[in-house]
């Protein structure tokens, strides 16, 4: 099960990166940055494996904490580009600032070698809420979004991933302390499966964008 | 054993929560679709009503403009034509009284002839009945004749049109489009030559091409300056025809009116 998940995960991410790289000109800023987030996620995953297997690190949690921070900024920029309503944009910026404050506070309190899971849980719920709003926007015909259906699939994947992952992420460090084996199993059952659903929906969206859209010359 | 049981209870709780959230998201997405579908159907109904209102408005506008043109044509023929006839009679009387005037008034005679002829042709071309009765080819030929007399540009006129390709309303619309195009060409194009080609058997095609200064179609249509061009497109739309306008600055202009499905503005 774990192996199948891993193969699907790597396969989907590889296809997304390859397709996105070839058809980058067809993507707008929002789509480009969501694609970039997946690219960085793969680089993070690969370099994490390298750190442990080739450089002898006992754990690479600090790397995931750094990746989390990078992801916050990528999602922040992508989503900020998509949102049109000034009020929602302001709320979004305030929310992201609160997440950053929570993140740095948690890192200061627990150290870089403990995953900032509470900030991530909060971040997950916040991002899910924002992408639920995006989901509502793209199903609204008045918005006249060029790639409404594609963004709908991508957003649905993000909402499912972050929202369903939030309860596990909130309990992750606690479970790691009391039962690391169970924690690992839960990670594979929840995070890996959700990750596969997210990337599959992203790939569907990406294919839709490529099929529907002419090359974007600027932006 | 008790601790392990708690741990698994937490794990199962997390999985169940994740599944509940999954279902919740599915429900929320579905409700978004339903809410927006309802909004969408309302918006479609509203836009259909607006379209139908605009269509009605255009028909009324068109009928009004045809009525005005007909009246104007009749006025030209009956009133101004009559005054010109009186002028001609007066001139002839004066010439009979004074034979030396024959020579002196020869230029005035020529101008008077030209004015009468232009007036006759113009009043016919404005008359809806004339277009309906005589058909498209004859009406266009008459209008071309009028432009030829003005000697503004060379006109090449080719046609292979079978009656019945279009109904009389469509023919009238095409004729009005043709008039608008010719009027625009005379006023703005600085063209030296205009080529017209009319084909009508199974498909209908009218091409009017000039070698004038051209224009930026998109810019002119978007800034709302071109009421003439807008009229052409509106009329074509009303007649169920497609109008392709190809123009470039310094490269002349081409209007292609057809009943085929191609529709594009260059």
Gap between the Cα atoms of A40 and A35, Å rounded: 9
What pLDDT is stored for residue B1 in this prediction? Answer: 47
Q: What is the arithmetic mean of pLDDT over B175-195?
A: 88
Identify the residue whose tokens are 């995960």: A9
Q: Using only C-alpha atoms, what is the Rg of chain B?
A: 32
Asked if A151 is an interface residue toward chain B (Cβ–Cβ < 8 A), one would say no
| Tokens representing residue A163 in the block | 């929202």
Give yes or no for residue A69 having a pLDDT over 90.
yes
Number of separate domains in chain B: 1
Q: Is A192 contained in some domain?
A: yes
Question: With contact defined as beta carbons under 8 Å apart, do A97 and A43 qualify?
Answer: no
Asked if B18 is an interface residue toward chain A (Cβ–Cβ < 8 A), one would say yes
Length of chain A equals 219
Asked if A193 is an interface residue toward chain B (Cβ–Cβ < 8 A), one would say no
- Nearest CA-CA partner of A75 in A108, A117, A37: A37
Q: What is the arithmetic mean of pLDDT over B240-261?
A: 85
Q: What is the arithmetic mean of pLDDT over A12-23?
A: 89
Q: Is A28 contained in some domain?
A: yes
Query: DSSP string of B174-213?
Result: HHHHHHHHHHHIIIII--SEEEEEEEESSSEEEEEEE-S-
Contact criterion met (CB < 8 Å) for A168 and B29: no
Q: What is the arithmetic mean of pLDDT over B215-239?
A: 79
Residues of B within 8 A of A166 (CB-CB) are: 21
Task: State how far the alpha carbon of B113 is from the alpha carbons of A37, B39, B76, B101, B264, in Å.
Answer: 82, 66, 15, 17, 44
- Pick from A124, A132, A141, A144 the residue to mutate for testing the B interface (most B CBs within 10 Å): A141
Structural domain span for residue A174: 2-212
> B51-87 pLDDT, tens per residue?
888 888 777 777 778 778 877 887 887 888 888 888 8
How much of chain A exceeds pLDDT 70, in percent?
A: 95
Give yes or no for residue B225 having a pLDDT over 70.
no
Structural domain span for residue B249: 153-266
Count Cα atoms within 13 angstroms, Cβ side, for B211.
9
Q: Is B215 contained in some domain?
A: yes
Q: What is the arithmetic mean of pLDDT over A145-170?
A: 88
How many C-beta atoms lie closer than 10 Å to residue A104's C-beta?
Answer: 13
pLDDT band at A109 (very low <50, low <70, confident <90, very high): very high
Asked if A172 is an interface residue toward chain B (Cβ–Cβ < 8 A), one would say no
From chain B residues 29-88, the ones with a CB under 8 A of any chain A CB are 29, 32-33, 35-36, 39-40, 43
Which helix (H) or strand (E) covers residue B247, if one does?
strand B242-247
> A38-61 pLDDT, tens per residue?
999 889 988 888 888 888 888 888
| Tokens representing residue B203 in the block | 């498909």
Give yes or no for residue A216 having a pLDDT over 70.
no
Asked if A179 is an interface residue toward chain B (Cβ–Cβ < 8 A), one would say yes
Contacts of B159 (CB under 8 A, 6+ apart): B137, B140, B196, B197, B198, B199
- Find the residue in A nearest to B40 (Cα): A141
Number of separate domains in chain A: 1
What pLDDT is stored for residue B264 in this prediction? Answer: 43
How much of chain B exceeds pLDDT 70, in percent?
A: 95
Q: Is B162 contained in some domain?
A: yes
What pLDDT is stored for residue A98 in this prediction? Answer: 94
Count of pairs with CB atoms under 8 A, one residue in A, one in B: 63
Q: Is B182 contained in some domain?
A: yes
Question: With contact defined as beta carbons under 8 Å apart, do A27 and A209 qualify?
Answer: yes
- Note every long-range contact of A97-106, with CB atoms under 8 Å and residues 24 or more positions apart, other chains counting: A98/A122, A99/A72, A99/A123, A99/A126, A100/A72, A103/A68, A103/A69, A103/A72
How much of chain A exceeds pLDDT 90, in percent?
A: 37
Gap between the Cα atoms of B42 and B47, Å rounded: 9
What pLDDT is stored for residue A78 in this prediction? Answer: 92
Contact criterion met (CB < 8 Å) for B25 and A139: no
Give yes or no for residue B99 having a pLDDT over 60.
yes
Q: Is A218 contained in some domain?
A: no
Q: Is B229 contained in some domain?
A: yes
Contact criterion met (CB < 8 Å) for B15 and A179: no
Q: To the nearest 10°, the Cα dihedral for B174, B175, B176, B180?
A: 100
Q: Is B131 contained in some domain?
A: no
Count Cα atoms within 13 angstroms, Cβ side, for B188.
16
Note the ipTM here: 0.70
Name which of B3, B28, B40 is nearest A132 (Cβ-Cβ). Answer: B28
Identify the residue whose tokens are 């990337």: A199
Give yes or no for residue B194 having a pLDDT over 90.
yes
Name which of B7, B25, B33 is nearest A163 (Cβ-Cβ). Answer: B25
| Tokens representing residue A36 in the block | 């970039």
Which helix (H) or strand (E) covers residue A56, if one does?
none
CA distance from start to end of chain A = 41
Asked if A163 is an interface residue toward chain B (Cβ–Cβ < 8 A), one would say yes
| Residue B251 main-chain phi, psi, to 5 deg | -115, 10
Q: Is B110 contained in some domain?
A: no
CATH of the domain at B236: 3.30.565.10
Q: To the nearest 10°, the Cα dihedral for A17, A53, A169, B21?
A: 40
Name which of A135, A182, A190 is nearest B18 (Cβ-Cβ). Answer: A190
How many C-beta atoms lie closer than 10 Å to residue A202's C-beta?
Answer: 28
- Pick from A158, A167, A178, A185 the residue to mutate for testing the B interface (most B CBs within 10 Å): A167
Contacts of A94 (CB under 8 A, 6+ apart): none
Distance to chain A for B245, nearest Cα, Å:
23
């Amino acid at each position: 099960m774990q192996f199948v998940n891993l193969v699907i995960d790597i396969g989907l991410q590889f296809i997304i990166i390859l397709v996105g790289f070839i058809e980058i000109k067809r993507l707008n800023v929002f789509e480009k940055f969501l694609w970039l987030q997946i690219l960085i996620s793969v680089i993070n995953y690969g370099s994490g494996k390298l750190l442990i297997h080739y450089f002898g690190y006992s754990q690479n949690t600090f790397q995931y904490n750094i990746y989390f921070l990078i992801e916050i900024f990528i999602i922040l920029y992508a989503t900020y580009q998509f949102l049109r309503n000034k009020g929602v944009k302001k709320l979004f910026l305030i929310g992201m600032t609160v997440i950053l404050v929570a993140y740095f506070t948690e890192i200061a309190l627990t150290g870089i070698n403990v995953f900032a899971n509470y900030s991530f849980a909060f971040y997950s719920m916040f991002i899910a809420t924002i992408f639920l709003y995006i989901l509502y926007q793209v199903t609204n015909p008045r918005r006249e979004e060029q790639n409404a259906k594609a963004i709908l699939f991508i957003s649905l994947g993000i909402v499912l991933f972050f929202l369903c992952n939030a309860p596990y992420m909130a309990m992750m460090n606690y479970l790691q302390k009391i039962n690391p084996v169970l924690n690992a199993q839960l990670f594979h059952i929840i995070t890996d499966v959700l990750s596969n659903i997210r990337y599959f929906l992203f790939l569907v969206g990406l294919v839709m964008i490529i099929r529907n859209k002419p090359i974007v010359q600027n932006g | 054993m008790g601790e392990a049981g708690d741990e698994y209870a937490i794990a199962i709780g997390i999985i169940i929560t994740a599944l509940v959230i999954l279902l919740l998201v599915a429900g929320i997405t579905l409700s978004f679709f339903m809410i927006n579908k309802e909004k969408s159907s309302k918006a479609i109904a509203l836009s259909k009503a607006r379209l139908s209102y605009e269509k009605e408005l255009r028909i009324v506008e068109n009928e009004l403009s045809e009525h005005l043109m007909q009246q104007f044509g009749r006025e030209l023929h009956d009133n101004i034509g009559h005054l010109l006839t009186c002028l001609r009679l007066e001139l002839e009387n004066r010439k009979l009284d004074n034979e030396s005037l024959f020579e002196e008034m020869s230029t005035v005679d020529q101008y008077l002839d030209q004015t009468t002829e232009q007036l006759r042709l113009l009043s016919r071309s404005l008359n809806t009945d004339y277009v309906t009765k005589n058909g498209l080819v004859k009406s266009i030929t008459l209008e071309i004749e009028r432009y030829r007399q003005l000697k503004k540009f060379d006109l090449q006129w080719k046609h292979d049109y079978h009656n019945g390709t279009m109904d009389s309303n469509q023919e009238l619309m095409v004729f009005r489009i043709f008039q608008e195009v010719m009027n625009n060409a005379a006023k703005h194009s600085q063209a030296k030559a205009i080529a017209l080609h009319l084909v009508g058997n199974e498909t209908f095609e009218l091409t009017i091409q000039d070698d004038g200064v051209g224009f930026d179609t998109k810019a002119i249509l978007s800034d709302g300056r071109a009421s003439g061009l807008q009229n052409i497109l509106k009329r074509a739309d009303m007649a169920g025809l497609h109008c392709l306008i190809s123009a470039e600055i310094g490269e002349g202009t081409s209007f292609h009116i057809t009943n085929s499905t191609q529709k594009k503005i260059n």
